């Protein structure tokens, strides 16, 4: 696992680097935001430890730039204790976790390890259930080698169902994840879209993969 540490205070940076290396990580250090952006562009890191207080371009600006460039590397933000606004801004700007200073080094290492795991899960871009595949980078679905055309909404629906394969997805959870609703519009929106999706992914194929669990919701799975 390769970690980028962005911190201008030399002692803190080297303390973090040594702790990560002692745990078997490879760690690179940058002392300012522009170097960090260049490093993140040149090297695929598994996680970035990013201090907010940096000379010149600060950590939040680095984070926003990374996300604008669609760099998905998980980011752990570091900040002085009590900087609540920065913390909220950071999470809004796409930080994955936050640790106030001063921190216990073991906690930092544990959080970086957790982020790296999350990142490597996310790196597998093709979801698969039986012979149905969904490439989350190109957004192409296919079954048995046949390409399936999806609308943007159908893509989100299928992605959610496949990420949850084997688990029942309730209507409310689907409304939240696929439509960003936090309320039930009281319509058959979900059912209609499930029906359309089913026609595309299941109608001409065997075995059927998208199942209704009466009263609970839907589940994507291979029949056992
Ligand atoms: Ca700093």
Distance 103 CA to ligand 1 centre (A): 13
**Per-residue pLDDT reduced to its tens digit, 46-62:** 999 999 999 999 999 99
Distance 54 CA to ligand 1 centre (A): 5
Distance 110 CA to ligand 1 centre (A): 21
Residues of the chain with CATH 3.40.50.2300: 2-122
Does domain 126-220 bear CATH number 1.10.1040.10? no
Helix (H, G, I), strand (E, B) or coil at 22: helix
Distance 23 CA to ligand 1 centre (A): 23
Instruction: Indicate if the pLDDT at residue 72 is higher than 90.
Output: no
Q: For the CA atoms of 109, 112, 114, 119, what is the dihedral angle to 10 degrees?
A: -160
Average of per-residue pLDDT across 131-149: 88
What is the domain class of 2-122 according to CATH? Answer: alpha beta
Q: Whole-angstrom Cα distance, residue 112 to residue 74?
A: 9
Distance 118 CA to ligand 1 centre (A): 26
Q: Whole-angstrom Cα distance, residue 20 to residue 207?
A: 47
pTM of the model: 0.56
**Per-residue pLDDT reduced to its tens digit, 11-53:** 999 999 999 999 999 999 999 999 999 999 998 899 999 999 9
Distance 52 CA to ligand 1 centre (A): 7
Residues of the chain with CATH 1.10.10.10: 126-220
Distance 7 CA to ligand 1 centre (A): 5
């Amino acid at each position: 696992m390769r970690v980028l540490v962005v911190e201008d205070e030399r002692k803190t940076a080297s303390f973090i680097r040594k702790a990560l290396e002692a745990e078997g990580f490879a760690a690179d250090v940058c002392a300012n935001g522009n170097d960090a952006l260049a490093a993140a562009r040149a090297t695929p890191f598994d996680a970035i430890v990013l201090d907010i207080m940096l000379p010149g371009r600060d950590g939040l600006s680095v984070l926003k730039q990374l996300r604008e460039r669609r760099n998905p590397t998980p980011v752990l933000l570091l900040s002085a204790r009590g900087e609540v606004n920065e913390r909220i801004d950071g999470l809004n700007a796409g930080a994955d976790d936050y640790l106030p200073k001063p921190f216990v080094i073991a906690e930092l290492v544990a959080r970086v390890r957790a982020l790296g795991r999350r990142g490597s899960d996310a790196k597998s871009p093709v979801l698969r259930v039986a012979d149905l595949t969904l490439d989350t980078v190109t957004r192409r679905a296919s079954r048995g080698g046949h390409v399936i055309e999806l609308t943007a909404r159908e893509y989100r629906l299928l992605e959610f169902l496949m990420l949850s394969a084997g688990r029942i997805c309730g209507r409310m959870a689907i409304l939240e994840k696929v439509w960003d609703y936090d309320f039930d519009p009281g319509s058959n929106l979900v059912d209609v879209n499930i029906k359309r999706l089913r026609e595309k992914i299941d109608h001409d194929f065997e075995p059927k993969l998208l199942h209704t669990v009466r009263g609970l919701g839907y589940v994507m799975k291979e029949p056992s």
